[in-house]
Amino acid sequence: MSRRRSAGAIPVYYLGNFLAAAGFCPVFGGTLRDSLWAGLLGLIIGFVTRRMDKLETNPFFSTIAAAFAMAVPAYLAAAFGLVDYVDAVIIGSLMILVPGLLITNSMRDIIYGDTNSGVNRIVQVLLSALAIAMGTAAAWHITSSLYGQTAAWLSSASSARTSTGATCTVISTAKIHAKIRNPVFLISLFPFSFFFFR
């Protein structure tokens, strides 16, 4: 019976990670495509967290690994233009790792006068935040060169495409009256127009 419950809890666990990350992403300004990416990255966080729990890894290093494994594909997807707002995708996914219950309990303990327990919980919260920042920063450091080169290449390609389209438009406009009698020339302009101005 316990095996059936554990087997049924795994899909629910991953579904919760997907829905939580995808649901938080629009809160921070993400689009629908960003939400789908955030959901997929939430699955990565869930997988890494489960593997680290089975290995009985320290929660601090488990959080670093989960944040790193989530941020690397996010930055790579942003480098190739697959997401609209990478910051919303990353923040929405990282909300899974934010120790919200720990923060609430620490405030409750301090308010009720249990200062030692509250301070201990606040220290755990700060360590979790540090682990999240370290994992994300490490992913950014590794992918920053590729992200910058790819973004520069996409920008130059877009500029070249725009300038080429403008040049072709000027040339075709200048010669349209000279070749107006040639229907093949006129028909050949349409594919280029759709390519450069779509």
Smallest Cα–Cα separation from 153: which of 71, 102, 80? 80
Q: Are 128 and 98 in contact (CB under 8 A)?
A: yes
Rounded-to-integer distance, Cα 96 and Cα 104, Å = 16
Whole-model pTM?
A: 0.68
Q: Which amino acid is at 165?
A: G
In angstroms, the first-to-last Cα distance of the chain is: 58
Band of pLDDT at residue 81, cut at 50, 70 and 90: confident
pLDDT in tens, 117-150: 888 889 988 999 999 999 999 998 888 776 555 4
**Those residues with Cβ within 8 angstroms of residue 81's Cβ, 6 or more apart along the chain or in another chain:** 154
**What are the counts of helices (DSSP H) followed by strands (DSSP E) for the chain?**
7, 0
